[in-house]
Every structure is written in structure tokens, then in C-alpha cells.
Amino acid sequence: MYRSKIKDILAKQTFDYETSVAGWVRTFRNNRFIALNDGSCLSNIQIVVDYENMDEALLKKINTGAAIHAKGQIIESQGRGQTHEMVCTELQVLGESDPEKYPLQPKRHSMEFLREIAHLRFRTNTFASVFRIRSNAAFAIHKFFAEKGFVYLHSPIITGSDAEGAGEMFHVTTMDLKAPALNEDGEIDYSQDFFNSETNLTVSGQLEAELGALALSEVYTFGPTFRAENSNTTRHLAEFWMIEPEVAFCDLDGDMDLAEEMLKYVIQYVMDHNQEDLAFLENRLVEEEKHKPQNERSPMLLREKLAFCIENDFERLTYTEAIRILKNSKPNKKKKFQYLIEEWGADLQSEHERYLVEKHFKKPVILTDYPKDIKAFYMRLNDDGKTVRAMDILFPGIGEIVGGSQREERLELLEKRMDEMDIPKEEMSWYLDTRRFGTCEHAGFGLGFGRLVQFITGMGNIRDVIPFPRTPGNAKF
């Protein structure tokens, strides 16, 4: 079926030519004006039908949500708010939509309602804009690393290792869960399972990316990761996508530079290629915040915030400096933080991260040199013996968006750290081999793609920037 994309028609300043379009009816006014959208852009095209000479039965089928194919003449529109319209000469209804049952009528729907019908929410302006932005952001990430000569590595989804050491993993098995194979001690005998060992869905592709970097120098992974964390927040998902570059012959400073450059590149790409979508989402936020108290409203408009992040260097400071700032802050002294900062070594919460970004520095922040006791085993130990060469990038409205570190390349110190954290060295011998044979300093980070899209779009809940969110108690669609 030949058709022109609405985006391409509206981009041209040419008129008086014949073409075809196909899409879904948004509205049908006065039995004459169809607002049609095909998902290629935010804007609709108006199709003008000659209702006096059209079959009445066909007219009754043109309802919100129906899929149609139309042929006609593109002319310059005299109507307000549009440049083009089609004078229809032929029209075919491809798929009907019962107006009594179709849940997306031309009115405002709540985000909670739209999550319940996630299979249809792509057809709303908000979600169409979000997912066009998500698509371009993903492309920009690949483009950024390709331009820098990185090798794209596919890390496994099924793994026997727990990269974070947190144990919050989904098990993978083909055993009958009602009667699993047991060994002599009455424990599950994983040697009888499909992979002959205990396996899980990956929480990170980092360890495998390190293997690639220590031969190819610069690699990155971009794939799904899974956390069996019973967390019902606006920032957490059980299934989400991660970008994880690893770079050989690189220290923490180089790691921070790469992460900041990448974030700015992706944001700029979206600003260049999704102007209409960003303008719509910005207006949506303005309308939404009219119902909030003044002190809870965003200090900047969406596109101003994005431009600000591109134009300003991220603030860099150590965890120790951050603790001092937080300890002496008004919210802490007045006990307004839910988690009070009382001593060095505290694990920073979202409220602390957002205070540093939104109230104190009022710009993106990179925190470095965290206490070793609250970080993963693979992070390089500093000379003080208490902190590691870790870094987190904190963004306004989101908190942590990137977590990275210089990796511990010294075999003895890495093994000692694994012993301290009860990580079995025998099972990780493949990882330790990279320290035995040709080790070198190297670093990398993980970017939660959903949080980046959440920041760029201004959406308040991470469940609204992934097509089908997986959360505790929910695996619909």
C-alpha cells in the first residue's frame, strides 16, 4: 500500500500534488474534517471529505481509533494551526473502532489509567512523543560510540554471576518447581538443571564488557538488565535497559569525561531532532505544574533545563565533601530529611542526591571516592584504604543517572575484596584471569537508559518511558 508519511508531507513547502496517507483517526468533526495521525510525528494532517457525495455507511465507520487509507490532493490550508490539508478523493476504512468500547476518547486521561492500557497508550500524543524521543536517544548513543570507534558488544542475558553482589536476581531454570531435583543434603541439585549450574537473569553486562575491553580497548553494551528488587518507586523497574561502556588504559577522570560527553551528546541530539515532541512535553509539564504550589514547580522549562545541562560543566566533588554539605544543610539540621546524615559512611538516598543537584549546586553533579563498604567489589581501592575510585552522576529530578568506577586491576587487592564480600573466587576465575594475564588500568560506567529518557522528556514516572513496564506484581502484555 503506497502512502506518504505525514511527517514528510508537513516538512515540504510544496502543494497541489496528489498522494496517499494512512493512519488512525484522532477526531472526525462535522462529518467533514478528519484529524489523522500515523505516528511519524506529533502533528495530524486534516483530511477534508465530501460528505454529501460519500456513502453514509462509510461515514459511520470513521470513528476515533479507526485505521483509514486516504487518497487526495495536498493543498495549502486556510485553517488555523495547520499548513497543509488533503482534499480527499478516495477513502477506505481499514479497521473499524467501536466508539462505545474504544478507551482512548479525545480527552485527558490519567497516567495510571494509561498504564493499564499500555497496549494502546502509544496512540496518545504524550506517549507517542516519549517513544519517538526514546528511539532517537537510543540511536544517538550508538552513534556517539560508533564515532569514537567503540566496539558494540552483546553481553549475555542469562548468567551465573551476580555483578553487583546484591543477590536480587531472577532465577532461570527448566526444573519442575513443584518437584525440583534434590541432592543428598536435600538442597536443589542444579547439576540436573539445563545449564548444569545455578543461573539468573543478568543485573549488568559490566563484567563481560571488561573482558572485551581488555582486548579491544573500547567496548560498550546496550541491553536489558533485571533486578528482583521489591521497589515501587518512580525510579525503579524490574526490567530496564543499560548502556555500559568499558575502556582500557583509562582512569576515573577519563571515565567521568566520557560519561559527561556522552550525556551532553545524546541530549543535544534529541533537542536537534525532536523539537516538536519536546515543545509538546514542555507545555504538558507547564499545565501539570499549575496545580502545584510555587515552591514545588520546576525552576526551568523543560528545554531550558536540557540546554542548561549541555552548556554547563558538571560539578565534581568527593563523597566526603558531599557529606559535609549535607550534614550542614538546613533540611538535615531541621530534620526534614527522611534519612538524616549523621556520620561519614552513610549511603546517600535520592533526597540527598536531589538536594545537592537541585538546591545546593543547581546543576548536574558528579560524586567521587565513595566508602568501599557501600560499593561493589570490583572498584579500585584508594590509597586511604577506606574509599574507592567510584563516581555517580546526579541529575535534577532524577538523582543518580550514571554509576561508574575505575576497576581494581591489581589481582591481590581484588581477591582480598572478594574474600571480604564472600564472593566465590573459583566461580569467578574467568574474571580474575584478566588480572592475571596482561592487566591494566581500566574504567567504565552504567547508564540507566530509562532514567535518561525520563530526564529528557520530563516524565515523572519511569514506568511511562518504557513501552511495557515490569514492576513488582505486574508483568502484563
Mean pLDDT value of segment 36-55? 95
Mean pLDDT computed over 243-263:
98
CATH of domain 123-168+203-464: 3.30.930.10
Q: Phi/psi of residue 330, each to 5°?
A: -60, -45
pTM: 0.93
- Length of the chain measured in residues: 477
**Rounded mean pLDDT, 281-305:** 89
* Residue percentage of the chain with pLDDT more than 90: 85
Q: Which three cell numbers stand for residue 173?
A: 531454570
- Using the CB atoms, write b or e for 218-241: b if 16+ within 10 Å: bbbbbbebbbbeeeeeebbbbbbb
Q: Are strands 218-226 and 151-152 parallel, antiparallel or unpaired?
A: parallel
Residue 222 phi, psi dihedral angles, 5° rounding: -150, 100
From residue 169, how far is each of 166, 206, 265, 422, 451 by CA, in Å?
8, 15, 32, 17, 21
Question: CA 246 to CA 205: how far, in whole Å?
Answer: 10
Average pLDDT over residues 353-361: 93
Measured CA to CA, the distance from residue 279 to residue 302 in angstroms comes to: 8
pLDDT of residue 28 exceeding 80: yes
Mean pLDDT of 191-202: 93
Q: What is the pLDDT of residue 166?
A: 58
For the chain, give me the number of helices (H) and strands (E)? 14, 16
- The residues of the chain that CATH labels 2.40.50.140 are 6-102
How many whole angstroms separate alpha carbon 319 and alpha carbon 252? Answer: 14
Q: At what angle do helices 449-457 and 275-289 cross, to 10 degrees?
A: 70
Does position 49 have pLDDT exceeding 80, yes or no? yes
Beta bridge partners of 406: 443
The answer, yes or no, to whether residue 300 has pLDDT greater than 80, is yes
Fold for 6-102, please state it.
OB fold (Dihydrolipoamide Acetyltransferase, E2P) (2.40.50)
Mean pLDDT of 40-51: 96
Cell triple for residue 90? 478516495
Dist CA 369 CA 384 (whole Å): 10
Query: What is the residue whose three cell numbers read 575484596?
Result: 417
Looking at residue 163, its pLDDT comes to 66
Whether 91 shows a pLDDT value over 90: the answer reads yes
- Residue 107: what pLDDT? 83
pLDDT at 165 over 70: no
pLDDT over 90 (residue 450): yes
| φ/ψ (deg, to 5) at 414 | -65, -45
Q: Are 47 and 86 in contact (CB under 8 A)?
A: yes
282-286, 349-353, 363-367, 394-398: segment of lowest average pLDDT: 394-398
pLDDT at 106 over 90: no
- Provide the pLDDT for residue 168: 85
Q: What is the mean pLDDT of the chain?
A: 94
pLDDT of residue 45: 97
Question: 167 pLDDT exceeds 70?
Answer: no
CA distance 126 to 458: 11
Average pLDDT over residues 333-352: 94
d(CA 470, CA 477): 10
Contacts with 291 (C-beta within 8 Å, 6 or more apart), sequence order: none
Query: pLDDT class for 161, splitting at 50, 70, 90?
Result: confident
Q: Can you tell me the distance from the alpha carbon of 385 to that of 407, in angstroms, rounded to the nearest whole number?
A: 15
Which pLDDT score is estimated for 25?
A: 97
Between these two residues, 235 and 268, which has the higher pLDDT value? 268
Coil, strand, or helix at residue 442?
A: strand
Cell (9 digits) for 236: 525503579
Task: Kindly report, residue by residue over 204-215, the tens digit of the pLDDT.
Answer: 999 999 999 999
- Residue 105 has what pLDDT? 83
Q: If residue 126 lies in a helix (H) or strand (E), which one and from where to where?
A: helix 125-147
Give SS3 for 78. coil
Q: What average pLDDT does range 457-462 have in this prediction?
A: 94
C-alpha cell read off for 161: 554471576
Look at 199 and 231; give whichever has higher pLDDT: 199
Calculate mean pLDDT across residues 335-352: 94
Q: In what side-by-side order are the strands of the sheet with 171-172?
A: 158-159, 199-201, 171-172
Residues spanned by CATH 3.30.930.10 within the chain? 123-168+203-464
Is residue 405 pLDDT above 80, yes or no? Answer: yes
Most confident of 69-83, 98-112, 208-222: 208-222
The answer to whether residue 474 scores a pLDDT higher than 70 is yes
Q: State phi, psi for 243 to the nearest 5 degrees.
A: -105, 125
Q: Which residue has the cell 536489558?
A: 224
Is the per-residue pLDDT at 164 higher than 80? no
Average pLDDT over residues 259-264: 98
Sorting pLDDT into bands at 50, 70 and 90, what band is 234?
confident
